[in-house]
Amino acid sequence: MLWQPSLPDTYLKATPDDLATRIRARREELGDRLVILGHHYQTDEVIRHADFTGDSLKLSRIAARVAEERPVEFVVFCGVHFMAESADMLTPEHVAVILPDLSAGCSMADMASYDDTLDAWEAMRRVLGP
């Protein structure tokens, strides 16, 4: 698991309304440079701040499209690791894709062992070529 510093007490003690006010202020400050993506499994408290909602593939594609259409610098992906990684692969190098909770994992994505994953890649390589 990746290390992530604890949130400051000001955030931990803030009310949902205080947090919403802070989020709105940051959105206003960053304008078109910020895009927030919310996976449809997220809670309503998270989704209400999202510019776009949907499944992981849809959101990654949206991140790529929006980064072509406007001067996006930051994509906040409210989801799990593989979702943010997909968005990061599809967006230009200068776009920072941010996963708010580095411990957010996907039980399905974590099911495959390393050896099983290597075997699957090798099988695909045999079928699809190098």
Ordered domains of the chain (ranges, CATH): 9-104 (3.40.50.10800)
Distances (CA, A) of 116 to 40, 48, 82, 109, 110: 29, 38, 17, 12, 12
Question: What spatial distance separates the first Cα and last Cα of the chain, rounded to whole Å?
Answer: 31
pLDDT at 63: 97
Which H or E run contains 52? Answer: strand 52-54
The tens digit of pLDDT for each residue in 40-99 reads 989 999 999 999 999 999 999 999 999 999 999 999 999 988 889 999 999 999 999 999
Q: Is the pLDDT of residue 127 over 90?
A: yes
Q: What is the pTM of this model?
A: 0.79
What residues does 39 pair with on adjacent strands? 54
pLDDT at 81: 81
Collapsing DSSP to helix, strand or coil, 114 comes out as helix
